[in-house]
Structure 1
């Protein structure tokens, strides 16, 4: 291995120019590139994007989806220096800003924009720090020194590009760094690195030879969202597709599950009607009381009858009294769902 090549300094660079450098290098002479955030997607591990979508974006055949949470992304960027600060405070390692874009010495397609450099306390060895932020319900992903697999692939890729032997995360999710901060580290693993770059070589080959990846091994929900993004809205003028017989098992399976769901929904409606019938006498006894209890020799039955207030926009009033505001507030959303029906021939 050898030290990485510095392609450019991204400090002060606007997003448009940064994306140009990221996609084809600052001189525009790299046909296809891979960045750290692409690696998990290429392996089918990303919870946000499928390999097919990324492949089409790299080929220039698909525009990236609009970010669903731009404010959250902005917050994550603003929290990076805070995460880095408390990582340094907790570990004693020196953290240094690094705004360069790097290229792997042996794999020209492999580019990296790292969050921070680390100099390890004691031996002075260099490393890479990845700063992450998440919500409280994702904090468990970082418990007891753990880290999400998709982030591990990103960091191991950076260690390879930068030719350094250790990396660390600083993940923050609250305002108490003593409890709301995880700082797990990992050591470079050549076997895992070889697996990563073998797959990346195959990926670049697929781009050059126009061989898009399949949707196999992609979570079904993510695959359906991706196909909606790739294919766009349905078109009424298109002819009906004739399916070959090999799809009969899948289609009949959908029909059976649709019927089962319909039966369950009907059973739920019947159950709700019975619950309401039982509840009438209970409500009469409760009057304005919120809680009740029935105690037997084996257990207690706790009864709640609490008023809950919800606030919703009165769309009818808004449409009638303020039609322009109503029209401006309307948000279109598209969805497509497979439905299978059976009819006799």
Structure 2
């Protein structure tokens, strides 16, 4: 391997300038580029974007959508120095900033910005990725585990930088002794070759207009992505004729939708029965919140607690303040596949 190429220093760039630089290089002469955060998407492992959506963005056919977790992303950026500080403090490694944009020596499409670099006391250099997450995601980092989509990102960076070590500093609370994880990885050429083989294929697909399928993408993410890509339905378009190979999944959808309707009806019936039995209990409870029935096998605990919820009165708001109502009215769109079986 050879040392990476320094394309430019991104310090002081606006976000728009930085994104343009990452898309085609500082001179605008790289047709297609891939960064560390793209790798998981290409493998179908990104929690946020599908391979097809990324492909269309790289082709210029789709603009990146506004992030649904923009606040979390901004918070993660703000917490990078905190994560880097505690990594250096707890490991004893020297942590430094690096604002350069790098290009892989052998794969010109591979560009990388690093959160931080580090040097061990022995002099070995490495790449540091700073992450932050919520408490319910902390388990993903337990016992030095690394979420796979992040591991792919760091291995990509290690390859671009041509270094043998990489590490994460993940934080999720304000106690650095309990709310941090700092797993390290060493370079694995077999995994690296596998990653770049897939990336080479991806660049080929861009050059030859061969968009990827939604195979192996989580269904909910795939549907959300397709909605972002193709937008709302259009009434004027003709009916699509499906081939026979789609009969099985279409019939399965129809069967499952019928079962869901049956379950909904059964739920409503059970809720009515609960209400009917509850009338006498409510009469006995009156103003009391809690009751108990002791039996030979245990206790039955009864709660009859007032819960107050406050919601805007849409009707009153519309009548009294129609201009305000129209300003705050938020339209939401959704599309759902529905299959109806029509016998001949």
TM-score in same-fold range (> 0.5):
yes
**Cα distance in 2 for residues equivalent to 1:30 and 1:60:** 14
Find the residue that maps to 1:56 and give its secondary structure.
helix
Answering whether residue 285 of structure 2 is matched by residue 322 of structure 1, we say no
Cα deviations across residues 232-273 of structure 1 (Å, max 9, x unaligned)? 211101111121222111111111111100000000001001
**Cα distance in 2 for residues equivalent to 1:158 and 1:230:** 29
Aligned twin of 1:88: 88
**Cα distance in 2 for residues equivalent to 1:250 and 1:56:** 27
Map 1:213-224 to 2 at 5 A: 213-224=212-223
Aligned twin of 1:161: 160
**Cα distance in 2 for residues equivalent to 1:32 and 1:139:** 35
- Could you tell me the TM-score, scaled by structure 2's length? 0.97
Answering whether residue 339 of structure 2 is matched by residue 340 of structure 1, we say yes
Aligned twin of 1:66: 66
Find the residue that maps to 2:168 and give its secondary structure.
strand
Aligned twin of 1:202: 201
* Displacement of 1:180: 1.6
Find the residue that maps to 2:128 and give its secondary structure.
strand
Cα deviations across residues 257-300 of structure 1 (Å, max 9, x unaligned)? 11100000000001001111111222222222222222223222
**Cα distance in 1 for residues equivalent to 2:275 and 2:138:** 39
Find the residue that maps to 1:118 and give its secondary structure.
strand
Aligned twin of 2:190: 191
**Cα distance in 1 for residues equivalent to 2:273 and 2:197:** 60
* Displacement of 1:103: 0.6
Map 1:111-130 to 2 at 5 A: 111-120=111-120, 122-130=121-129
Find the residue that maps to 2:332 and give its secondary structure.
coil
Answering whether residue 190 of structure 2 is matched by residue 152 of structure 1, we say no
Cα deviations across residues 31-53 of structure 1 (Å, max 9, x unaligned)? 11110000000000001111011
Q: Which moved more, 1:134-143 or 1:299-308?
A: 299-308
**Cα distance in 2 for residues equivalent to 1:335 and 1:305:** 37
**Cα distance in 2 for residues equivalent to 1:282 and 1:212:** 62
The answer for unaligned runs of 5 or more in structure 1 is: none
The answer for unaligned runs of 5 or more in structure 2 is: none
Cα RMSD, aligned residues only: 1.2
- Could you tell me the TM-score, scaled by structure 1's length? 0.97
**Cα distance in 1 for residues equivalent to 2:125 and 2:272:** 67
**Cα distance in 1 for residues equivalent to 2:251 and 2:164:** 53
Map 1:138-287 to 2 at 5 A: 138-287=137-286
**Cα distance in 1 for residues equivalent to 2:216 and 2:284:** 56
* Displacement of 1:185: 1.4
